[in-house]
Amino acid sequence: MHIPDGFLTTRVALSLDVISAAGILFAARRARIDLSDRIIPLMGVLGAFVFAAQMLNFPVAGGTSGHLIGGSLLAILLGPMAGFLTMATVVIAQALFLQDGGLIALGANIFNIGAITCFSGYAVFRLFKGKSGRDNRLAVAGFLAGWFSSVISSAFCALQLGLSGAVPLQIGLAAIPGYHMIVGVIEGALTAGVLGFLSRVRPDLLDTNGAGRFRGADWAGALVFIGMPAVILVLAGSSSLPDPMEKLLIASQSHVAEESALSGIDFLISGTIFTLVIVTGFLLAFIWRRRSRP
Amino acid sequence: MWARRFGRDERGKMTEYAIRITRLNYSYPDGTRALQEIDLDVRTGERVAIVGPSGAGKSTLLLHLNGVLTGSSPIKIANLNLERSNLQQIRSKVGLLFQDPNDQLFCPTVFEDIAFGPLNLGVPAEEIPARVNKALRECGLEQSIGSRSSHHLSLGERRRVSLAAVLAMEPAILGMDEPTSNLDPRNRKRLIELVSRLEVTLIVATHDLGFVLDVCSRTVVMDRGKIWADGDAQTILSDTRLMEEHGLEVPLPLKAETRP
Amino acid sequence: MRHNFIDRYSSLDSPLHTLESRTKLLAFAILIVGVLSIPTDAEAIFFSYLFAAAVLMGISQIPLGYIMKRMVVLLPFIMLAAVAAPWKGYAGFGALAVRAVLCLILLILLTNTTRFAELLCGLRRFGFPQIVVINLGFLYRYLFVLMEEAMRMKQARDCRRVGRAPLTEELRILSSMLGTLLIRSFERAERMHSAMLSRGYSGDFPVVAPRRFSWHDIVFLAGTSAFVGATIWAR
């Protein structure tokens, strides 16, 4: 779900722009990518791969069509940091080429489709893959990573739309992730299928490029992934203090500006908690990395 | 200009050999032996063809010429030992044309692609447009093609743009990998004319034996990572037994000559 | 096969096309923020923005039909917002829809009046991280190459298949197609890296000097800022 401009209040959109920009700078630094390394053209080509794969729609029963988001797949192949950078590029390109997603909403889209899918997908994958690396484990972990990342990412999309008052929070949270729970099966199946194919044909690509390269970030990813439901709960709790419907009714009588001020506070709270979760995650990862270094 | 192209060394003495390779071995990371005991000396200004079936190691050998791959023993390019410290210098002397222009043209526009090499060599920005236009002219392309994107070009144009991108670096040695593959007869002929005019030491890996006859004076037969024959192009290409042993065919013009 | 669905109109020659990319990025971002801050009940301001967008559309020479066709990306969101309309009030929904349409028109104008290479140059000048800009360039270039490969594979698959397979089979075929494409992408990246090294690449992606600002740029930027400023002041 690429959010176009106009559906998020300026405040929500701009805060996410800042968060995403910081995320990109952080990932670029943390991934420690040597610009002369072969990963540079690889990230570019895999970005093009995801872009092309997203355009390869194929019909699903009921007239809708499904395609690969690819965030979790990229994170598994390239590691979460390089994967996130690549997905961020894809999202920017989609806004610039196809006007899929807005310009001011770019931060929100990078956050949902880039950061959330990559980090949650990667964390789930590592969690379920285990050490054995047997084919069926790989498939199960890949499926769960794809499915979960797609659902969580859509939940964040719904959350932002709700906070902006474009779609009532309850309706959004029911409809958008609900839809993705179904469509996510395709994402999961394709992620698992591609991983399975790679492990049969070119297992070396799975060994050298993804797993084990950014081990510290596993923890960060896992924490973000655990933190998310917490944030959602807190959010749902804080916004239901005055009934959201009631609040929206009040808001609809006055200006959008006031409405965004109301949701701005909610956003500030959730944003702070979320940032804290991420920061703790990265701190832990950093300490863990330090310790594991001989 | 002349001196640099034909590789005089610092003392002004003409260097006899553009390329000297002795007992070069190379294995891929997975252990496959791609090159075995390769000996190859190429004189300055010579035009050498490397022929052989697919997977013979021709492309791998070319990638050694500018140190993208490094094998067991050092290579001498214009009397310089190829080392980590002089890689940049070597790469400014040895230009490589890749088989698929899509691999070589990675920038959003043709202009940027041709400017990429010179800019990396430290050519000042003011001189870049002149360099790019000169290279485009040399390859028979219009100046206006510069602002276009490679995906809007035909394969023939893309191949010539790739060549322009290499020539813009003004190399003394040019390595080409299958330069005529997939070209239609007209574009192939154009490329042959273009390459024949170039004043560089040429080393071409190809299946196109007609191209070899038109352009090269010397031919090396490679198969399974080894060199099997090395000598005058006409003689080697008309040796039916040798050609067939290594999955090649005597080109038609030579077949015609042997007929009564 | 030639693709031009992405940059079909970016090499036209209108006054908007000739502006510097940084000018356009900045001016359109200001305009979009301006649109987002239009209050729900300010009809006059909505109309002034619609008028401004129409003028820009006219100047740009981009066919109206094309812009209309691109509106389809708004559909799912408009539908979701429409569900909420009974609670939020129809005025709010209307304002939301018009804002979204205006923003989309502006984004279409920005991206279709600027060549992608110049847009990249502008982004880089604005301090986008180098790694992102390099990747955007690669993505733009190789998107077409990969799509061609994908199309060929799809045709090959269709040649060997009669009728429709069940979904699970469909998914299995699609994932092995994607897997093949992925492996080819890895190999392509390897060859590109060799090609980059061969042309002296050592970690710094060079750029050609960007175009200079002209007085057109200053006028356009000043004009849009004044317009947005005026609509905010008039509130």
Picking from A137-146, C8-17, C90-99, C154-163, which range would have the lowest pLDDT averaged per residue? Answer: C154-163
Taking the C-alpha atoms of residue C85 and residue A257, their distance in angstroms, rounded to an integer, is 18
Residue A36 contacts B where some CB pair is shorter than 8 Å: no
The mean pLDDT of B230-252, rounded to a whole number, is 89
> CA A17, CA A122: separation in Å to the nearest integer?
23
Instruction: Tell me if A279 is assigned to some domain.
Output: no
Tell me the CATH number at A120. 1.10.1760.20
Residue B48 DSSP SS3: strand
C144 found inside a domain: yes
Size of interface A-B (CB pairs under 8 A): 3
Percent of chain B with pLDDT over 70: 92
Is residue C209 pLDDT above 70, yes or no?
Answer: no
Nearest to C202 by CA among B240, B122, A285: B122
User: Which of B28, B96, B109, B37 is closest to B67 using CA atoms?
Assistant: B96
Average pLDDT over residues B189-217: 91
Tell me which residue range forms the domain holding C48. 15-122+211-233
Contacts of C204 in chain B (CB under 8 A): 120
User: C110 and C75 in one domain?
Assistant: yes
Total of domains in chain A = 1
Residues of chain A contacting C115 with CB distance shorter than 8 Å: none
For residue A49, the enclosing domain spans 10-214
Q: Please indicate whether, in this complex, the C-beta atoms of C142 and A2 are within 8 angstroms of each other.
A: no
- Which has the closest alpha carbon to A4: C43, C32, C112, C49? C32
Shared-domain flag, residues C110 and C144: no
- The answer to whether B250 and B51 are in contact (CB under 8 A) is no
Q: Are residue C21 and residue C110 in the same domain, yes or no?
A: yes
Q: Do C200 and B115 touch (CB under 8 A)?
A: no
User: Which ranges of A99-168 would DSSP assign to H, the alpha helix?
Assistant: 106-109, 117-129, 135-163
The answer to whether B247 touches B53, Cβ cutoff 8 Å, is: yes
- Report C:34-73 residues touching A (Cβ under 8 A): 35-37, 39-41, 70, 73
Mean per-residue pLDDT for C175-201? Answer: 90
In a domain, C152, yes or no: yes
CA distance A217 to chain C (A): 20
Same domain, C175 and C147: yes
Judge whether A231 lies within some domain: no
* pLDDT tens sequence across B177-187: 999 988 899 98
Chain A residues whose CB is inside 8 A of the B106 CB are 41, 44
pLDDT at A253: 41
The more confidently predicted of residues B58 and C164 is: B58
* Best to test chain C binding among A2, A5, A200 (most C CBs inside 10 Å): A5
Q: Which two tokens stand for residue C94?
A: 């209307």
Chain C residues close to B100, C-beta within 8 Å:
191
Domain presence at residue C204? no
> What residues in chain C have their Cβ under 8 A from chain B's Cβ atoms?
2-4, 7, 11, 115-117, 120, 137-138, 140-142, 144-145, 188, 191-192, 194-202, 204, 206-209
pLDDT of A233 over the 50 cut: no
Let me know if residue C203 belongs to a domain: no
CB within 8 A of A273, min separation 6: which ones?
A: A227, A230, A231, A234
Q: Order of strands across the sheet with B218-223?
A: B94-97, B173-177, B201-206, B47-51, B218-223, B226-232
Residues of C in contact with B104 (CB under 8 A): 195
User: Considering only A66-80, B49-63, C53-67, C99-113, which range has the smallest mean pLDDT?
Assistant: A66-80
Distance from CA of A131 to the nearest CA of C (A): 23
pLDDT at C28: 94
Q: What are the CA-CA distances from residue B236 to residues A174, A195, B178, B221 (Å)?
A: 75, 48, 19, 8
ipTM: 0.91
Q: Which chains touch B (3 or more CB pairs under 8 A)?
A: A, C
Q: Which residues of A66-102 are buried (b: 16+ CB within 10 A; e: fewer)?
A: bbbbbbbbbbbbbbbbbbbbbbbbbbbbbbbbbbbbb
**Both C20 and C109 in a single domain?**
yes
Domains of chain C: total:
2
What digits encode the pLDDT tens for the residues B104-113?
999 988 999 9
Mean pLDDT of B139-145: 88
Q: Using alpha carbons only, what angle is made at residue C122 by residues C118 and C124, rounded to the nearest 5 degrees?
A: 115
Percent of chain C with pLDDT over 70: 93
* Chain C interface includes A18 (CB < 8 A): no
Name the minimum distance, in Å, from the CA of B122 to any CA of chain A. 17
Q: Which residues contact A235 (CB under 8 A, 6 or more apart)?
A: A159, A163, A266, A269, A270
pLDDT, mean of residues A68-72: 84
Question: Checking phi first, is residue C3 left (phi over 0); if not, alpha (psi -120 to 50) or beta?
Answer: beta
Q: Which residue in B103, B120, B150 is closest to C202 by CB distance?
A: B120
**Which residues on C lie below 8 Å from B102 (Cβ)?**
142, 145, 188
Give CA–CA dist B57/B37, Å, rounded.
12
The dihedral sign for the CA sequence A193, A199, A202, A207? positive
Does A283 reside within a domain?
no
CB of A138 within 8 Å of any CB in chain C? no
Q: Identify whether C3 is part of a domain.
A: no
Q: Average pLDDT of C157-172? A: 75
> Residues C219, C111: one domain?
yes
Name the 3-class secondary structure at C40.
coil
Chain C interface, best mutation among B30, B70, B106, B150, by max C CB count within 10 A: B106
Sorted by where each starts, the structural domains of chain B and their CATH numbers stand as 2-100+171-258 (3.40.50.300)
Q: Which whole-number Å values give the CA distances from B192 to B122, B180, B195, C43, in the listed order?
A: 31, 9, 5, 68
A100 within domain boundaries: yes
> Is A282 a member of any domain?
no
Helix (H, G, I), strand (E, B) or coil at B174: strand
| β pairing state of B218-223 and B226-232 | antiparallel
**Of the given ranges (A189-203, B110-124, C68-82), which has the lowest mean pLDDT?**
C68-82
CA distance A83 to A30: 12
Whether A293 maps to a domain, the answer reads no
Mark yes or no for CB contact C194/B98 under 8 Å: yes
Q: Which token pair is A254?
A: 């006055």
Q: Chain C residues with CB inside 8 Å of A257's CB? A: 37, 39
Q: Is B28 left (phi over 0), alpha (psi -120 to 50) or beta?
A: beta
For residue C5, tell me if it sits in a domain: no
DSSP for A254-280 reads S-HHHHHHHHHHHHHHHHHHHHHHHHH
